[in-house]
Each structure stands twice: as C-alpha cells, then as structure tokens.
A and B are shown apart, each in its own frame.
Chain A
C-alpha cells in the first residue's frame, strides 16, 4: 500500500467514525478541525485503524500524533 492508498482508506475510516461524508483529510488537520473529535471518538478511531490495518499503537505513539500527516506517517511505517 502506498501513501495515497493509505490516505484513501484512512479517509473512509474518518467518514465512518465521525459520521461525516464530507471529510477530506489533509496533513495539517488536527482534532480541532473536526467536530466531535474528542477522547471518546479518538479511541474509536484508533481502534478502527488498528483493526483495518492490523496494527497496534503504543501509548507513546498516540501521544505524538499531533496531526493527520503524522498519523499517516506512523501507520505507513508500521505496515511497510
């Protein structure tokens, strides 16, 4: 999977979790850009990402996910 494909899959996950079909991901996007992105939805998001990509995050990695770009990089490094 290349980064574009990864971003497409991730977009699908975001649309599902935040129940918003208009979401379009950009690297700079943060929790404050999406309605209802709080601790609860974050946990749902992380667990969906873990299921879909068959990966597991460490707490230290979660803490460093400052924006969508870093999230994409972190997932990419785990699946390649």
Chain B
C-alpha cells in the first residue's frame, strides 16, 4: 500500500469523521482531531504560499500541537522535514542546516530561537479554511524526513527515509500483531529527532487514538509515570533506561490498563523486563530492534510469561518483521549458517535509500547480494548477531565492541553478564579503550557502594584474566544521551580524563 493510503488517508479520515475525539494531550491540555486539522491547514496554507522549490523544510521540534501539525502539513505538500532540536547545541544544528542547505525553517516558539535564516513563526498564522485534501500521486520514492545521527568524523550523518520506507514499516508493524483503536491512550515519550517518535505518534493518529507527549522541561521518568497512571495509558513505547529509573519503585506500580508495551532503543535485560511485567499484568510486552537506516524497527520479540530467549541475560531481538529480510554474514559478506555469529545485515523496502551526500558511507554500509534467487540490496548494521535454529535472532553487541585483547577475541556482553550476576540489579557497562596501542577494558557500575576487591575476585572465578577490566568506575548514575541510551562517548571521556 502507498504512503498516502496507509498513513495520510487514515489520519485525514479521523480528522474529518471524528473531530471531537482527542488527538493529543500536550502539557496538560487536550486537543481534538478538529483542532489538529485546523493547525495542519494553517501551516499548509503558509507552505503553499512560499515561493520555493526546496524539497526540504527545517522544523524546530518543540513539544506542541503546531510542531506535530507541521510534519503532516509538510508531507501533504510532498516535502520532507528536517527536525532541529531546540535543546541541542547551536553549532550542531548549524551543521545540519548547512549540510542540507535549508532555506526555510518552521518554528513554533513565540520568539524564534534562530536568527539569520528564513524563519516562519507558526504562532502568527491564522486559520482560514480546511486544506486537508491530498495528492495520491506523489511518488513513494520522495523523502519524508532526514534524521541525523552522530558520525565518527564529528559531522552528523543524515539518514534519508522515504514514503515507501514508512508505508512498508507500518505494514510490517501492524502485521506483527500490534492493535490500537480509538479508545487507546498512547505514550509518545521520544524527542522528534529520534525515529521511534514517528511510530509513537503516527500509529495512534492512524487508528484515531490519543497521543500523550512529554514536555521537554519535565523530569521524564516521573512525568511518564504520571501519564501512565493518571491517564491510564494503554499503549506505551519505553526505553530500558526509563524502566531502570522506575525500578526502585516497581513495588508501587500497578497499571492494569496497559494493553501493549514496547521496549526498544537499546538492549534490555530479561530480568528487568520480567520485573516490569509484574507492574503491567494485563499487557503484552514486545522487544523491538532496529537501526534508523532500517526505519524505526525491523525485528521483534514477544515476551512469554515463563521462558524467554536470551543471550548473556539480554533479551532476544526476535525475528524479522514482515517486510524485512535478515542474514548473518562474515567479514567477506558470505552468509553464515544458523547458530553462527556474524554481522546482521538487512534488506527490504524499509531500508533507507542512503545517507545524505555521503558517498563514502553509502559505499561501505550497503552491498548487493544474491539471496534466494534474488539480487537484494543489504544494509550492514554493525551489530553482531546469530540466527538460531528456532529462527530467533540473538544480539551480542556492536561489531566495534567485539575486540581482541592479547590476541583473544572477546565478547563484552559476556563480561557484563557475569558482572550483572554479581551486582544483582545494579546497572553496568563495559567500555573498551586504547592505551599505548593496547586495547583494555573499563567497567562502569551504577553504584558507589560496590566493594571493588570482592567484585573482581568474583569475576576472576568466572572469566579468564584477559577479560577482567583494568579500570573500574563507580558512578551514582550512568549518563544518558538525548535518546535515552547510555552515553558511551561521555564514558570514554571519563576514562581518558582518569589517566
């Protein structure tokens, strides 16, 4: 199905046919589908009036109705949005704006936060008439958004996602068994610069449900809990780090109205997921995995009440979604048999057409391979996985975390697994670093109360000496990046500064 039919048409249908139903709850205020439709129309009229051929429009992604409406307006006009986060460093944003060559930026702040660009203040627009018709003939090859992820050269790299990618994603998503209806209250706790946000607000809007957002200036875990409890959220997408914040309070949490909970964005320990399951006794829990390059999620695992698949204590990422093909390859891109570890590579209509103006990355990250009689284009994820006999995928870690120490190939996940066994429910992570051209390991533990000597003595009973970290850091809390994942760059800085 085309993007127009699978995403745009149902949202417009809901605006026209269910105007009084709530579409959003933002900063303690409800907005219904009619109000959402009016915002879309206002912004669309402005975009139409612009004298520009530019395919790309910058969008300052605030937490308000105008920002969400602007995304739909931009898409109705067949254009793409480039999200710019108001809380990210100005220099990084400037690099993004310059890379794309943005001419127009939409901003819903009362006082626009950028100067020197052509800024359209969304607060100054007046509603005249509904502009909700859509052109079904827009090519599905057209770009919908470009998300920037951190690049190793220091320049953020842009991942292009087109209409076909998103329609294919939703086809996969609904086929994985997810059900949402008009009575659902759905959580959207992600920054709009992170692609899980698109699933979190588009899925409810497609089904006519209500989206509950988290304001930028709120303490996220505590505000999310408030939403879950006070508004009886029935569909929620959550990162493991948020669950780790809530964990000390799990015995106070009981959310019988939760029907579906998705855990995503980083590896989740089985133990954390099983403890969370007790807080949401009537909910299905899924673990979804996916790089931005494969459009939001591409594999999923549905948790069972009793036995679950895991490796080193971390949940399986399950099987490929409907429109995704997954293979495991060796260094020379030869397909490995079941049970063998290698790099996970993905193919199908969810895979990005490529990085923005980055021929080097486009060459190194994609390859064509004959698979089951077809010549397919694969994306190399950089994740080490195996596909097991039951077709479930186990994720061992990043390719760059599979390292050699004193000539031995080691798996960081194994060290983390044994550390967690000793530390019980304390969060921990192992980071490799280079010292005098040797690779060494540092372990970070989220507690200042650990006895280092007893801990190391325990590890020595479980692991060979070359796998015992040479440095240990006890922190009150592990730092997180804006997407809620553990910030490994900050941790590496701590290691460097400790010498």
Contact = CB atoms under 8 A, between A and B. Distances in A.
A44 B253 contact: no
A58 B249 contact: yes
B267 to A, nearest CB: 19
Main secondary structure of the interface of B (DSSP, over half): helix
Contacts of B223: 63
Contact of B477 (A44, A58, A62, A63): A44
A30 B222 CA distance: 14
B494 to A, nearest CB: 14
Contacts of B477: 40, 43-44
Contact of A44 (B246, B249, B476, B480): B476
14 contacts: A32-B217, A39-B221, A40-B477, A40-B479, A42-B222, A43-B245, A58-B249, A59-B252, A59-B253, A60-B229, A62-B222, A62-B225, A62-B249, A63-B229
B476 A39 contact: no
A48 B219 CA distance: 17
A38 interface: yes
Interface residues of A, number: 17
A76 B226 CA distance: 23
B98 interface: no
Contacts of A47: 476
B252 A31 contact: no
B218 interface: yes
B220 A39 contact: yes
Interface in A41-66: 42-44, 47, 58-60, 62-63, 65
Contacts of A38: 219-220
B357 to A, nearest CB: 33
B219 A59 contact: no
Given A59-B225, A60-B252, A39 B219 contact: yes
Given A59-B222, A65-B222, 8 more contacts: A39-B245, A39-B480, A44-B477, A58-B252, A59-B246, A59-B252, A62-B249, A63-B223
A31 B218 CA distance: 7
A31 B246 CA distance: 19
Contacts of A39: 219-222, 245, 480
Interface in B465-485: 476-477, 479-480
Q: Which 4 A-B pairs have the closest CB atoms?
A: A59-B249, A32-B217, A63-B226, A42-B219
Interface residues of B, number: 19
Interface of B: 217-223, 225-226, 229, 245-246, 249, 252-253, 476-477, 479-480
B90 to A, nearest CB: 16
Contacts of B219: 31, 37-39, 42, 62
A59 B226 CA distance: 9
Nearest to B249: A59
A10 to B, nearest CB: 17
Contacts of B480: 39-40
Contacts of B253: 59
Contacts of B245: 39, 43
Interface string A3-44: 000000000000000000000000000111000011110111
Interface of A: 30-32, 37-40, 42-44, 47, 58-60, 62-63, 65
A59 B219 CA distance: 13
A25 to B, nearest CB: 17
A17 B392 CA distance: 44
Contact of B217 (A31, A44, A62): A31
A47 B217 CA distance: 21
Nearest to B251: A59
Contact of B225 (A42, A43, A63, A65): A63
A60 B226 CA distance: 8
Contacts of B246: 59
B451 to A, nearest CB: 19
A65 B480 CA distance: 23
A59 B249 CA distance: 6
B42 to A, nearest CB: 28
Contacts of A59: 222, 225, 246, 249, 252-253
A31 B252 CA distance: 24
Contacts of B229: 60, 63
Residue from A32, A47, A63, A65 with most neighbouring chain B CB atoms (10 Å):
A63
A40 B218 CA distance: 12
Contacts of A42: 219, 222
B395 to A, nearest CB: 25
Contacts of B479: 40
A30 B215 CA distance: 13
B89 to A, nearest CB: 14
Nearest to A64: B226
Most chain-B CB neighbours within 10 Å: which of A37, A38, A39, A47? A39
Nearest to B252: A59
Nearest to A60: B252
A44 B218 CA distance: 16
A34 to B, nearest CB: 11
Nearest to A17: B476
A38 B221 CA distance: 10
B449 to A, nearest CB: 12
Nearest to A48: B476
Contacts of B218: 31
B221 to A, nearest CB: 5
